[in-house]
Amino acid sequence: MTQMKKENLIKDSKRIVIKIGSSLLIDKNEDSLKSEWLRSLAQEINQLIKQKKEIIIVSSGSIALGQKQLKLRGNLSLDEKQAAAATGQVSLAHAWKEIMEKFGLNIAQILLAPDDTETRRKHLNARATLLKLIELQVIPVINENDTVSTEEIRFGDNDRLAARVAQMCSADLLILLSDINGLYSSDPNKNKGTVFIEKIPEITDEIERMAGPPITSISSGGMVTKIAAAKIATKAGCHMIICNGHFNGPLSKLEIDGTQFSWFSAIEKPLNSRKQWISGALQVKGKITIDKGAAEAMKKGFSMLSAGIISTEGNYEKGDLIQIVDEQQNFVGKGLIHFNNSEVDLIKGSKSNDIESILGYRGKDEVVHRDDLVLEKK
């Protein structure tokens, strides 16, 4: 599904994930839902359902709604945000249910925490639930479980959450409805000569620089997280759109020739499902530095062996996700480790045949097997 025209992206897609930002749903002046806008979107979704499309919604807005109900003002503390999320989520789900019922559509609420996508077993369980709801012709409405997520272990934005959902359910298209038209070469609010980037066939270092500084653990959106979302989605074989959703009927405008939006093309040969999950994982438990020979061998398709390991950082257990870097600390890839950090520290630089005598038991010959390894640019 990689060769298509820009205005046919929705037409040629079967399963579509739509992410909606808070600024689109919430009227800041009234601190309430934009009912007319939501109704126009629901009408479009109804039309897509009639065209046999499968729709998944990732919706922000629970904290903003809860903040109003609890009469909280100013910058909220973590526990205030969690209380607001718990309160606002009820109103948000009710609003979606009420508006969709007018078109004869059923919805189901799903709250996801990072652990639900980062733990492989939970990831597969969540996928099974999503696919069953789609089979039953129910529209999943998904949000981050802000009530239990901490600043250290949260997505921090619904862009990356939406990308993980798109990856999880093998979507064809991810649409990020935002308050901007798409990607620019630099901040259009600061630079008058900035250039709009319409089609992005590959996410290069230059594209990432256009987005701004790196993501932090407490990021709350912006173009950086949208590029991070695009990397996850496109590697899963899913096209992604960033577009301005402030107009009523925002999806219909994407099918009109001349509408300005940015399109990130899905890669020709997506990773298999296991490697998609590894590539898109957000929580890395440790870091291993390898020598030049090991890095070159891995790039040729070989597994990571103990002989090429120089050092290890972090506390991790067998099966955890670790980051792999070369001697200059350049990013090499990510993979699932077969030993814990203490064991890796003992066997680093040793031959695979010596692992049993060092550790006292016969483990894997590979520290990270090639099937559990994803090489990529950071």
Inside any domain, residue 45: yes
Res. 106: pLDDT tops 50: yes
Shared domain for 288 and 237, answered yes or no, is no
Note the pLDDT tens digit of each residue in 246-287: 889 999 988 877 788 999 999 877 777 778 888 877 778 899
Shared domain for 205 and 259, answered yes or no, is yes
Shared domain for 68 and 101, answered yes or no, is yes
CA gap 310, 101 in Å, rounded: 60
The percentage of the chain sitting over the pLDDT mark of 90, rounded to a whole number, equals 53
More confident residue, 356 or 277: 356
pLDDT for res 287 = 96
Are the beta carbons of 205 and 377 closer than 8 angstroms? yes
> Which residues neighbour 184 within 8 Å (Cβ) at sequence distance 6 or greater?
194, 195, 196, 197, 210
CATH number of the domain residue 316 falls in: 2.30.130.10
Are the beta carbons of 96 and 143 closer than 8 angstroms? no
Q: Over the chain, what is the mean pLDDT? A: 87
Shared domain for 239 and 309, answered yes or no, is no
Res. 152: pLDDT tops 50: no
- 3-state SS class at 10: coil
pLDDT for res 107 = 96
Are the beta carbons of 212 and 223 closer than 8 angstroms? yes
What are the beta bridge partners of residue 108? 140
Shared domain for 268 and 297, answered yes or no, is no
Res. 153: pLDDT tops 50: no
CATH number of the domain residue 115 falls in: 3.40.1160.10
C-alpha separations of 109 from 128, 178, 223 in Å: 15, 22, 27
Inside any domain, residue 266: yes
Short-list 243, 187, 182, CA closest to 212: 187
pLDDT for res 28 = 73
Note the pLDDT tens digit of each residue in 161-179: 999 999 999 999 999 998 8
Note the pLDDT tens digit of each residue in 45-85: 999 999 999 999 999 888 888 888 898 888 888 888 888 88
pLDDT for res 149 = 62
> Which residues neighbour 330 within 8 Å (Cβ) at sequence distance 6 or greater?
none
Shared domain for 142 and 290, answered yes or no, is no
- 3-state SS class at 103: coil
Shared domain for 58 and 122, answered yes or no, is yes
Shared domain for 289 and 353, answered yes or no, is yes
Shared domain for 304 and 223, answered yes or no, is no
Inside any domain, residue 1: no
What are the beta bridge partners of residue 20? 59, 177
Q: What range defines the domain where residue 163 resides?
A: 6-278
Q: Which of 227, 248, 278 is the last residue in one of the domains? A: 278
pLDDT for res 219 = 37
Short-list 358, 249, 339, 273, CA closest to 24: 249
- 3-state SS class at 197: strand
Torsion sign across C-alpha atoms 279, 282, 288, 291: positive
pLDDT for res 2 = 44
Residue ranges of the alpha helices (H) in 102-246?
114-118, 120-135, 158-168, 205-211, 223-235
Q: Which of 241, 263, 278 is the last residue in one of the domains? A: 278
Shared domain for 131 and 57, answered yes or no, is yes
Q: Which of 235, 254, 278 is the last residue in one of the domains? A: 278
The DSSP line for 169-185 is TT-SEEEEEESSSSEES
Q: What is the dihedral of CA 107, 226, 175, 90, to 10 degrees?
A: 20
**Stretch 218-239: mean pLDDT:** 82
DSSP 215: P
> Which residues neighbour 156 within 8 Å (Cβ) at sequence distance 6 or greater?
215, 216, 217, 218, 219, 220, 221, 225
Res. 127: pLDDT tops 50: yes
Inside any domain, residue 88: yes
Among 86-95, 268-277, 315-324, which stretch is predicted with the lowest mean pLDDT? 268-277
Shared domain for 294 and 210, answered yes or no, is no
Are the beta carbons of 66 and 30 closer than 8 angstroms? no
> Which residues neighbour 273 within 8 Å (Cβ) at sequence distance 6 or greater?
170
Inside any domain, residue 333: yes
CA gap 244, 262 in Å, rounded: 10
Q: What is the dihedral of CA 142, 148, 150, 152, to 10 degrees?
A: -60
Per-residue confidence at 3, pLDDT binned at 50, 70, 90? low
- 3-state SS class at 243: strand
Q: What is the pTM of this model?
A: 0.79
Shared domain for 338 and 228, answered yes or no, is no
pLDDT for res 221 = 56
Please tell me the total count of domains within the chain.
2
Walk across the sheet containing 54-59 and list its strands: 106-112, 138-144, 54-59, 15-20, 173-178, 239-244, 262-264, 199-200
What are the beta bridge partners of residue 32? 27
Among 22-36, 195-209, 245-259, which stretch is predicted with the lowest mean pLDDT? 22-36
